[in-house]
Structure 1
Amino acid sequence: MLSAMLSTPIARLRLVAIIEAISYLVLLFVAMPLKYVWGIPLAVRVAGPVHGILFVAFLIALFRAADARSWSWRRSALVFATSLVPFATFWIDRSLREEDLAPAPATS
């Protein structure tokens, strides 16, 4: 079942994007307050690198999906920008899901 869910570049992008978005929210709303409000820097030392690795995985998945679907620079930049704004990834996910269900563009 998992392999069917991850059978397209957009499906893989969606999965990585959601996991990366959750790690970003944990970093911003859990780890950062723990460090700066309660003086517990360990949370950032753990969440920071995890988020960084997931962000790199997101970029790789984004480039692969953009290439597979022949996205314009504008579309690619929009998807990238959503990764920088908290909760925006969840907003763009619906559009990605709909595009994933649509037929892929013909390649020449």
Structure 2
Amino acid sequence: MLKSFRILSLLEGVSFLVILFITMPSKYAFDNGMPNKVIGMAHGFLFLGYVVMAIMMKPVLKWNNKTLAIVLLCSIIPFGTFWMDKKYLRPLA
């Protein structure tokens, strides 16, 4: 389950960065919104999966509410999931 969460957090983080640095500039600079719709939909599913898995990992990893809040907050901060993986998941792998 830990490995699955690590993979999901990596994919969620990458999809967020793709939206911020590739598809959003493309949408507004070149009036090309289709990549944003496609990647945005994928990111939405990954984000929801991340939130659900983080909540499921709380008892497994014995996180307190503060740690869970930090892990969830990392999903809305650029590069946050990569930091979260390094701080909370990689030492356990």
Q: TM-score, normalised by structure 2?
A: 0.91
Q: Deviations over 1:48-93 (max 9, x none)?
A: 1100000011112111111212211100011111111111211121
Gaps of 5+ in 2: none
Structure 2 residue 87 is the aligned partner of structure 1 residue 97: no
Query: Cα deviations across residues 9-39 of structure 1 (Å, max 9, x unaligned)?
Result: 3322111000000000111111101101110
Gaps in structure 1 of 5+ consecutive residues: 1-8, 102-108
Name 1:82's counterpart in structure 2: 74
What's the TM-score, normalizing by structure 1? 0.79
Percent sequence identity over aligned pairs: 32
Deviates more, 1:86-95 or 1:50-59: 86-95
- Large movers: runs of 4+ above 4 Å: none
Opposite residue 72 of structure 1, the aligned amino acid is N
Cα shift at 1:43: 1.1
Which AA in structure 1 matches 2:38?
V
The higher radius of gyration belongs to: 1
CA contact (8 A) 1:11 1:97 kept: no
